[in-house]
Amino acid sequence: MTTSNIIWSAINSGLIILITFIGSFIVNRNLENLKSSLSKERYIHKMKFEKEFDIYQNLWKELVVLRRSIFTLFIPSYLFVPFNPEAENKVEVKKLERFRTVLKKATLTIEDHTPFYNEKVFEYATEVVKLSRKLNSIYHEIKDPEEQYKKTKKEKAKMLSLIDNIEKVIRDRIGNIGEAKLIG
């Protein structure tokens, strides 16, 4: 082996080592960048999930209270205080006041978080508020409990159905968010 062959062999070996080192450095740097990017995406996904989950949790609490309030509107007052029209009237007034308070709180919750709801949740929630306001005006205008019951039966049933639909959409939404896989 001649001296020039040995030099060329050493240069080639040095270049191979240098290229390997540089390649390894570049690959490691790219891997670190990818890990960092995925970590940021996971963090953002986690934060988005937690925020959306909190919003749906608050909405659901308000809708459950609203649904209970609607159920109490279905129950005639004379079942609470039989044979006492004055007491029946007081019970009706209290039920209606409670319904109005609950409606106001639910409406504020819906309005406060409007941009963060899934489209279907927002659509159903908005319809719940509209129906609640309609029920409120019927109860305000009509004083006879039997007439109120007849006039509001359809709206109450529709509202309860809408609340059930919101529950289904939230369940699906939370399930989809929680199961989402990050593809990088």
Assess if residue 140 is contained within a domain: yes
Assess if residue 100 is contained within a domain: yes
User: Domain residues for 140?
Assistant: 47-179
Domain of residue 87, CATH code: 1.20.120
Instruction: Give residue 177's pLDDT.
Output: 65
> What does the block give as tokens for 179?
């199961």
Burial 61-80 (b: 16+ CB within 10 A, else e): ebbebbbebbebbeeebeeb
Assess if residue 71 is contained within a domain: yes
Amino acid, single-letter form, for residue 150: K
CA distance 13 to 36: 34
CA distance 97 to 52: 31
Interhelix angle 3-74/119-141, nearest 10 degrees? 10
The dihedrals phi and psi of 83, each to the nearest 5 degrees, come to: 65, 30
The dihedrals phi and psi of 31, each to the nearest 5 degrees, come to: -65, -40
Kindly state the percentage of the chain with pLDDT values over 70. 91
| Count of domains for the chain | 1
Assess if residue 31 is contained within a domain: no
Assess if residue 162 is contained within a domain: yes
CA distance 43 to 50: 10
Assess if residue 142 is contained within a domain: yes
> What does the block give as tokens for 165?
């639909």
0.85 exceeded by pTM: no
**How confident is the model over 137-144, as a mean pLDDT?**
78
Residue 182 pLDDT grade (very low, low, confident, very high; cuts 50, 70, 90):
very low
Instruction: Give residue 21's pLDDT.
Output: 78
pLDDT one-digit tens code per residue, 18-29: 788 777 778 778
Give yes or no for a contact between 88 and 80, defined as CB atoms under 8 angstroms apart. yes
Interhelix angle 119-141/145-179, nearest 10 degrees? 170
Give yes or no for a contact between 116 and 52, defined as CB atoms under 8 angstroms apart. yes
Instruction: Give residue 178's pLDDT.
Output: 56
Instruction: Give residue 61's pLDDT.
Output: 94
Kindly state the percentage of the chain with pLDDT values over 90. 15
pLDDT one-digit tens code per residue, 118-131: 899 999 999 988 88
CA distance 175 to 78: 44
DSSP H helical ranges for the chain: 3-74, 85-112, 119-141, 145-179
Instruction: Give residue 133's pLDDT.
Output: 85
Least confident of 77-81, 148-152, 170-174: 77-81
**How confident is the model over 38-63, as a mean pLDDT?**
84
